[in-house]
Amino acid sequence: MGCRSGNNQVVPFDKDKESEDEFEGPIHDRSCRDVFCLFFFLAFWGGMGYIAYVSILNGQPARLIYGYDSYGNICGMKNEPIPNVTLSGLDMTSRKYVFFFNFLALSNPLEESKIICVQSCPNGTFITTSQLEDYAVEENITLCSYDVAVSDYSSASNGATADCPTLPLTSQISILNRCLPADFLTTAADTIGFIDPGIIKKIFSDIEKTWLEICYLCAISVGLSLFMVIIMRFFAAVIIYVTIIIFVVGSLAGTAFLWYTWYLADQELQDIPENERIAADEENVETLLIYAGVASGVTVILLLILLVMRRRITLVVEIGRASCRERV
């Protein structure tokens, strides 16, 4: 959609009919016709920005990220008291994980469940409240309501909304700061049929640990994209050639770095006696080898595409110049 008028004449192409000299093409009353759409688009983004601002200012994004208990306390943070709400305003700095007395409430809002923040997800199987008491004394991890003393666990009631969780209670793992049964991933993997539960656990664990960095990188990518679109208007040819060079050099350098990293890791592994090696070290070497192989394949494909399409690069440059050239 163009917004500039020009002097170029549009002449009909017909081999059987010669063009008339007086044909001036559709240049009469040409003007920018997408101003309304532009303002509408800007208004849309302005409204979205305002909604985001109000949500962050008046809302609590941490409740979604870290989770919260039945009393309004955000896990892993210091909390302010909520009027007329008992057990609110507690310091949950050491309690970073959300624990459901009935984990089915995580996916079904109709299921009743008391929710508390715990120091760590339960590791083991618990049949009686006495086992919960022993676990609290030995591991310093309390799995019953905050107002129930550890010494009273053995006599406390258990259930979805009781003082202690529903029993029996099986071992659980943390996924995005939420405690879920350890066999949850196994059941999901069996349903899908071909995914290793360990891989799913690693994916969620990586997301949980690096979500902030992922958001930063996405924001940087959007900013760089907008910057590239703006400067393409003035330096189309330079940007296209620089982009191609960066892709080529980056692919070669990245592939070489991965192979070098794999070589160092493999040499370090070879120096360790076989009886002292751990599975994590061997998995790390195998993972680096896979990454290096995939990077090599992508680099070769990229170079082949550039080799085959090298003549069209000039055409792309000319198209970029023509589309971004200032017209009077």
In the chain, the largest separation of any two C-alpha atoms, in whole Å, equals 102
Q: Which residue has the higher pLDDT, 246 or 34?
A: 246
Residue 256, pLDDT score = 92
Residue 328, pLDDT score = 37
Contacts of 143 (CB under 8 A, 6+ apart): 99, 116, 118, 122, 126, 132, 135, 136, 164, 165, 169
**Res. 117: pLDDT tops 90:** yes
Nearest Cα to Cα of residue 125 among 188, 184, 190, 182: 182
Helix axes 236-270 and 279-308, enclosed angle (nearest 10): 150
Residue 62, pLDDT score = 81
Cα–Cα distance for residue pair 7/25, rounded to 1 Å: 10
Residue 86, pLDDT score = 87
- Would you call 129 exposed, middle or buried from its count of C-beta atoms within 10 A (0-12, 13-18, 19+)? buried
Residue 202, pLDDT score = 64
Residue 198, pLDDT score = 59
Instruction: Give the helix/strand (H/E) hosting 213.
Output: helix 197-232
Q: Which residue has the higher pLDDT, 131 or 206?
A: 131
SS3 78: strand
What are the two backbone dihedrals, phi and then psi, of residue 157, each rounded to the nearest 5 degrees? Answer: -80, 155
The pLDDT confidence band at residue 103, using thresholds 50, 70 and 90, is confident
Q: Which residue has the higher pLDDT, 86 or 240?
A: 86
**Res. 234: pLDDT tops 50:** yes
Q: Which residue has the higher pLDDT, 152 or 210?
A: 152
Length of the chain: 328
Cα–Cα distance for residue pair 160/116, rounded to 1 Å: 12
pLDDT in tens, 147-201: 999 988 888 888 888 999 988 888 888 888 888 887 776 655 554 444 555 556 6
Residue 144, pLDDT score = 92
pTM above 0.75, yes or no: no
Residue 24, pLDDT score = 52
**Res. 26: pLDDT tops 60:** no
How far from chain centre, in Å, is Cα 242?
29
Contact between 153 and 129 under an 8 Å Cβ cutoff? The reply is yes
> Which pairs count as long-range contacts for 317-323, CB under 8 Å and 24+ apart, including other chains?
317/236, 317/237, 317/240, 317/241, 320/232, 320/236, 320/237, 320/239, 320/240, 321/236, 321/237, 323/236
Cα–Cα distance for residue pair 171/126, rounded to 1 Å: 8
The pLDDT confidence band at residue 3, using thresholds 50, 70 and 90, is very low
- Chain-wide mean pLDDT for the chain? 79
Q: What is the DSSP code string of 145-159?
A: -TTS-GGGGGGS-BS
Contact between 72 and 94 under an 8 Å Cβ cutoff? The reply is no
Q: Which residue has the higher pLDDT, 50 or 6?
A: 50
Q: Which residue has the higher pLDDT, 57 or 146?
A: 146
Range in 73-82, 107-116, 205-214 with the lowest mean pLDDT: 205-214
Cα–Cα distance for residue pair 8/322, rounded to 1 Å: 12
Residue 325, pLDDT score = 56
Mean pLDDT score, 40-55: 88
**Res. 311: pLDDT tops 90:** no
SS3 25: coil
Contacts of 146 (CB under 8 A, 6+ apart): 71, 87, 90, 116
**Res. 319: pLDDT tops 80:** no
